[in-house]
A and B are shown apart, each in its own frame.
Chain A
Amino acid sequence: MRAGRTLTSHFQLETRQHDLLGLDLGEGPPRRALIFGAVVFALWVLLCAPILGPPSQSTFSLYVIPPILLSAWGMQPSPRHPRRRRFTDWALTARHATRGHRPVIHLGARAAHRSEYLPLRRRLPLDTLTAAFLPWRATPEWEREHEEDSRPGHAGAGAGIRLRQRARLLDAEHVRAAREKTLRRMQRGGTPTGSDPATAAAKTASSTSTSTSTAPASLIRKATP
C-alpha cells in the first residue's frame, strides 16, 4: 500500500495583511483582495474623473462605494469553483459573450464570420440574470429545458432572412376574366392570339424601327429588362 499526497491546498495559501501604514488591521484582509480593490479603485477613479470632476463632498460616495462593493463582492469565492473568485466568473462570462462563443472552424484555419456567431441571448446568461434581478420575468426551468432540447444546430449559413411573400389563391373566374381582358387588349393591338403578351411586346419593342406597332408603352417598359 502506497500513499501519495496532493499539496494543492498548501499552494492556495491565502495571505493576509495584518497592518497597513502602521495601522493594525487585526486578522487582516486578504492581500489579494486588497490589491484587487486598489486596482478597481484606480480604474474607477480614472473612469469617473472626466465625468464627475475631482471628488467632492457630494460625489465622494460615488467615487468610493462602487469600487468597494465591486471588490468585496468580486473577491468572494466563486459558487462554481471555490478555488476561484466571483470576479473570474464574471470575466469568463464576459469573455464567452464576446469571444469565447465563436466557433472554431477547421481548427482556426478560418475565422468565424459575424453571421456564424451565436445569437446574443444564447451567449449571455440572461436566464440567470433575469432570475436574480427580475424574478417575475424569469423563464421557468422546465421551459428552459424544452428550449435547450429544441434549439437547432448552428450551421453558420448566415443570418436568417424574412421572406415578404404572400401567396394568393385565385379562382377560375378571376383567371378567365384576366385572360379575356388580355385577349381583348391584344386584339385591339393586333398581337396574334394565344401568344404571350409580354413576349409579343418585347418583339415589338426590338423591332421598332421597322414595325408600326401600337403596343401600349407600359407593356414595352415592362418587357425591356
Chain B
Amino acid sequence: MKALSKARAAFGLGTTRALPPPRLTAIAEGLLVTERKAEAWYLLGTENTDLASEADRDEDLDKALSVISQSLADRDCHLKIVWGRVSGDEYRAEGERLFPAGNGKAWAETRAARIDELALPQRHLLLGVHLGDRDTRDTAHLRGSVTDALGLSTWQVNTRELAHLDARMRKTGRQLANSVWRARPASAEQIAWMVGREQHRQTTAAPRAGVIAGASLARLTHGRVQPYSDHLRVLGPRGEVTSYVAVLMLTEFPEHMEVPGAGEWLRTLSEITYVDDDGDEHAVVAEASVRFRAMSKSAAIKVVEEQRRSAKEQRKSAEKHSAGETTEEIEATEAVMGETRRRIQRDGLTLIEDHPRIVVNASSYAELDTHVDAVITHYSELGITAVVGADEQRDLWLETLAGDTLRVPDLGHVREDVAFAGSWFWGGAAVGDDSGPAIGVLTGTTPGLVRNDVAGGSARGDATTTLWCGRSGRGKTTAMMWSTIDAAAGGAWVPFLDFKGDCGGQVAVAKEYGLPSSLVRIGAQHSGAADMFRVLPPQDATLYVTGQLTMLTPKNLRGAAEQVIMAATRTVAGQSNPSSWAVIERLCSLQGVAGEIGEALRVLADTPLGAAVCGPPTGDVGLTTEPGLWVIQMPGMTLPSTVGDPEDWSPMQRVSMACLRGFIAHVVYTAGRQDLLSLAKVVAIPEVHLLTLTPDGRQFLDYIARVGRALGTALLLDTQDPGGINELPGLVEQITTVFGFQLTTKAQQSALAELLNLPPDDASRALIRGVGRTDAGEVKHGHCVMRDRRDRVATMQWDLPNDRIKAQLSTTPGGSITLAKLDADLDADRDREYVA
C-alpha cells in the first residue's frame, strides 16, 4: 500500500489530491483547527530592506536561518503572502484619540477619505505551523459526514484540547517573536479574514468573541468556487462570477541565486506590473502560498546520502556494462550531494523542501490572462519558470488554503536555507510610527501608509527633533506645515516661527477644522519681545546678548565691539531687570568707540524689528500659551542668503537675523515653563540654515536643541543645508526623524546621507539626487527619503488629502494664499486679541 502510494506520488498523482477540502472546526487567537489537524498561525512583521546596507541584510538573513533551523525544523509550515486594502475606517476610529482638539473628527475624516481614495494595497505575511494531527484516519471525512447526517456533529474543540493547542502555539510563538520576523499570534479575526477572503467575496466582520466556531465558521466558509482547466471562477450568491483566479507553480529555479538580487523571489512579488494598451503601468496583485519543511540534520543527511548513493550506483553500473561512463548530470549529482552532506555535518547547513505557488486573481478572464502573463514574465526575468497548473487548479487552490495539506508534491524543490530565506519574503519597505497621524505613502517595494507623530517623542522618552532637509521647492516646508496642523489637532501648543513670511496657509486650514490658531505679525508694539535677557537666565544670556549686539554693530565698528559690548553686558547682567536696551544705554553713556557703538545700536533699536531685539522691554511678547497653532510672522524681515558672507550683511539683514534668534530662544524657553510642562509642545522653525551660517548661530541652535529635549518639547527644523546641521553634533544627537529631499551638490548629498544613516557613497548620493523626480525628470513635490526613530530608511511621498488643502498650504509664489487674502478669511477678533 505504501509502495503504491509512493509510486502515485512519484507520478504526481499522490493520494492527498483526493482528500476533501479542510473542514474547519474552530478558529481562535493564533489557532486554526480543522477536522484533521491543528495549525498555529502567526503574523510576521515587515523588515525594511529597501535601503538597508548589505551588512545589515546579511545579519538579518543569518538570524532568519537560525530561526528556520532551530524553531521550525521538521515542522510543516505554510507561508502565505496575501494582500488586503488599507481602509480609512481604522483611521476614522482612531480619530477622536489622535485629534482631540477642534473638529478632530472632521480632520481624521479628511485623511480617512483620502486613504479610501488611494485604495492602497496592504501586505500581510502569515506563517502557519503544523501543531499536530487530530484525526489521521482516512475515514475522518466519512465519519464526519455520518455524524452530520445523524445530527451528532459537535463542531467544537473541547476546552482541554484548546488549552493544549494554545500552549503549544504560544511556545512556538515565543521563539518566533524574538526572531527577525517579530512574529505574533494572528488574532482570530485575522485568521477568519484569511479564511473568508479565499472565497473572494465581501467578508463580513468576524465575531470578536475570541473563538470562532459553529455557525460563524459556516458563514466564513460560505462560497462557491468552480474549477476550470486553467483557472477557477468564484461565484457570488446569485451565480455571477465575482472573481477569476489562477494558481501558478514555480517549477524551475536556477541552481545558484544571489542575494541581494535574483534570489529575492518572494520579496519582488509586489513589483510585478503590466502595461496596458495606453502605456500606463499597473500593479498585479499576486499572492504567494508556500508550503515548506525545514529538514532536521538527520533527515537531510538521509535524503542526501540516498541520492548520492543512487548516483554512485549509476556510475558504477555504467562502468561495469557497455555504457562505460555515466552522464555528466549523474557525476555532478554525486559530487554535489557529497559536498552538501559535508556542509550539513560541518557547517550546519539546513535543507528546505518547499512548494511555491503564486495566486493571481482578476475581475475578468482577459484581465486574468494579462496578470498571469505578467507573473510569468516577471519570474522568467529572474530565471524562474512559472506555469499555470493545467487540469489541477482545484487541487492547487485547495492547497493554498489554511488548514489544508500539500496536494501536488511532485513539483516541489529542495534547496539550501539561504536559497529559501534569501527570497526575503519578510523584506520590503517599512518606515514611520506604528500609530499617529498619517502623512503619506511608501514608495518602496511594498506599498503602505506612513505615519509619523512629531509630538510623540517625549512620551516615548526619546529625543524630539525632526528635520526636513532638501533644496528649495521640493515640498519640505509644506510637509512641515502639515505636521504642525496634525500636532495642533492633537492638542499641542505649536508656535511656528515663519520668518520667511510664506507659511500662513496652515492657519486657514486649521481654522476650517476648528483648531485654535492665529497669525501674529510682530510690530513696534512688541518692543523687547526677542531680547535674550528677557528669554534666558541672565548668566546664560550674557554671551548671547553680546553675540546679538555684536552682530548688529556696523562693520566699521565691529573690530573692538565684542570686548566693549561684553563688558557692558556683564555689568548690566548683574543689575535687576537686565535688558539689551540697558546695555545700549550703558554703551551710550561711555566715551569713545563704546559710545559710537551705543549710538549705532540705538538707531537700529528705533526700527520696528530692532525694537523687538534690543528696544525698551515694554512691549507684548505676541505669543499665547494656549494649545493651538500660532504662526508668528515679521513683516519687512529680510533674511540673508545662504551664500553671502555674514561680514557683508546689510543692517536690515543683521536685524532680521537677530530677531530670528531672539524669537526662537523666546519660544523654546516659553515652552519650558513649569506651568506648561504637562502640555504637548511642538516648536517649528523653518529655514534653520540661516542660523547655522554663523558660529554663534550654530552654538545657539545646539544649545536650544539640548534644552528643548530636556523640557520635552518637540523641535521641527527645516533646512537647505544638511552640512551645517552635521557640524552641530549636539543637535544631530537630538534628531530622531529626518526627511531628506532632493539635493544636487555632492557635499550636501553626502551630508544628508550621513543624517539619513546611509553610507555616504555613490549609491546614496544617486538616491538623494534622484528622489523627488519623476521618470520624465519633472519635480515630484513631497517625495523624499525618510529615516525614522528606529533608524529605518525608505522612500515616501507626502500626501495632502485634497486639492483645497494643497492650495492652502502652497508656498509657491502666486499659488500661495497671500497675507491680505488670508486676513480676510481669518477670525479678525482673534487676531486683534494677540496683535493688540
Interface string of B355-367 (1 = CB under 8 A from A): 0000000000110
A6 touches B255 (CB 8 A): yes
**CB of B803 within 8 Å of the partner chain:** no
A26 touches B332 (CB 8 A): no
**CB of B320 within 8 Å of the partner chain:** yes
**CB of B830 within 8 Å of the partner chain:** no
B223 touches A157 (CB 8 A): no
**CB of B392 within 8 Å of the partner chain:** yes
| Nearest neighbor of A39 in chain B, beta-carbon distance | B7
Quick one: which of B611-644 are within 8 Å of A by CB?
none
CA distance A15 to B323 in the complex (A): 13
**CB of B260 within 8 Å of the partner chain:** yes
A83 touches B321 (CB 8 A): no
Interface string of A77-100 (1 = CB under 8 A from B): 000111111011101110110011
* Residues in B lying within 8 Å of A, measured CB to CB: 7, 10-13, 17-18, 20-24, 54, 58, 61, 199, 218, 221-229, 233, 235, 238-241, 249, 251-261, 263, 303, 307, 310-311, 313-314, 317-318, 320-323, 329-330, 332-333, 336-337, 340, 351, 365-366, 387, 390-395, 397-398, 401, 410-422
A5 touches B256 (CB 8 A): yes
> Which residues on the A side are within 8 Å of B254 (C-beta)?
6
The 8 closest A-B pairs by CB, nearest first: A155-B239, A4-B419, A108-B21, A4-B418, A107-B221, A96-B391, A153-B241, A18-B321
A8 touches B259 (CB 8 A): no
> Which residues on the B side are within 8 Å of A125 (C-beta)?
229
Number of A-B contacts (CB under 8 A): 218
A87 touches B11 (CB 8 A): yes
Residue of A10, A11, A89, A148 contacting most chain B CB atoms (<10 Å): A10
A154 touches B233 (CB 8 A): yes
CA distance A78 to B473 in the complex (A): 60
B224 touches A13 (CB 8 A): no
Q: List 22 A-B contacts (CB under 8 A).
A: A4-B420, A4-B421, A4-B422, A6-B413, A7-B351, A10-B333, A11-B414, A15-B313, A32-B10, A83-B251, A85-B11, A96-B394, A103-B235, A104-B224, A104-B397, A106-B221, A106-B223, A107-B221, A107-B223, A108-B20, A109-B218, A154-B239
> Which residues on the A side are within 8 Å of B11 (C-beta)?
36, 84-85, 87-88, 91
A80 touches B263 (CB 8 A): no
A108 and B23 in contact (CB under 8 A), knowing A3-B259, A32-B10, A149-B366? yes
> Which residues on the A side are within 8 Å of B422 (C-beta)?
2, 4
A7 touches B340 (CB 8 A): yes
* Residues in A lying within 8 Å of B, measured CB to CB: 1-11, 13, 15-16, 18-19, 24-28, 32, 35-36, 80-85, 87-89, 91-93, 95-96, 99-109, 118, 122, 125, 148-149, 153-157
A13 and B20 in contact (CB under 8 A), knowing A80-B387, A92-B392, A155-B238? no
> Which residues on the B side are within 8 Å of A18 (C-beta)?
317-318, 320-323
> Which residues on the A side are within 8 Å of B54 (C-beta)?
1
**Chain B min CB distance to A130 (Å):** 15
A6 touches B253 (CB 8 A): yes
CA distance A16 to B11 in the complex (A): 17
CA distance A101 to B240 in the complex (A): 18
B414 touches A92 (CB 8 A): no
B228 touches A13 (CB 8 A): no
A5 touches B416 (CB 8 A): yes
**Chain A min CB distance to B21 (Å):** 3
Binding site secondary structure of chain A: mixed
A106 touches B218 (CB 8 A): yes
Task: Give me 4 other A-B pairs in contact (C-beta within 8 A), A16-B318, A100-B393 excluded.
Answer: A19-B321, A102-B394, A107-B199, A157-B239
A107 and B21 in contact (CB under 8 A), knowing A18-B320, A100-B391, A155-B238? yes
A103 touches B227 (CB 8 A): yes
> Which residues on the B side are within 8 Å of A122 (C-beta)?
228
Residue of B226, B233, B241, B252 contacting most chain A CB atoms (<10 Å): B226
> Which residues on the A side are within 8 Å of B224 (C-beta)?
103-106, 156
A26 touches B323 (CB 8 A): yes
> Which residues on the B side are within 8 Å of A11 (C-beta)?
303, 307, 414
A6 touches B311 (CB 8 A): no
A3 touches B256 (CB 8 A): yes
CA distance A19 to B351 in the complex (A): 34
A92 touches B233 (CB 8 A): no
B321 touches A153 (CB 8 A): no
**Chain A min CB distance to B194 (Å):** 13
A5 touches B239 (CB 8 A): no
CA distance A101 to B332 in the complex (A): 42
A103 touches B225 (CB 8 A): yes
> Which residues on the B side are within 8 Å of A28 (C-beta)?
318, 321, 323
B336 touches A10 (CB 8 A): yes
B241 touches A1 (CB 8 A): no
A154 touches B222 (CB 8 A): no
> Which residues on the A side are within 8 Å of B249 (C-beta)?
81
> Which residues on the A side are within 8 Å of B420 (C-beta)?
4
| Nearest neighbor of A125 in chain B, beta-carbon distance | B229
> Which residues on the B side are within 8 Å of A2 (C-beta)?
58, 61, 258-259, 263, 418, 422
B221 touches A109 (CB 8 A): yes
> Which residues on the A side are within 8 Å of B329 (C-beta)?
9, 13
| Nearest neighbor of B306 in chain A, beta-carbon distance | A11
B23 touches A1 (CB 8 A): no
A83 and B366 in contact (CB under 8 A), knowing A4-B420, A6-B257, A108-B23? no
> Which residues on the B side are within 8 Å of A19 (C-beta)?
317, 321
| Nearest neighbor of B241 in chain A, beta-carbon distance | A153
A13 touches B333 (CB 8 A): yes
A15 and B337 in contact (CB under 8 A), knowing A103-B226, A106-B223, A109-B221? no
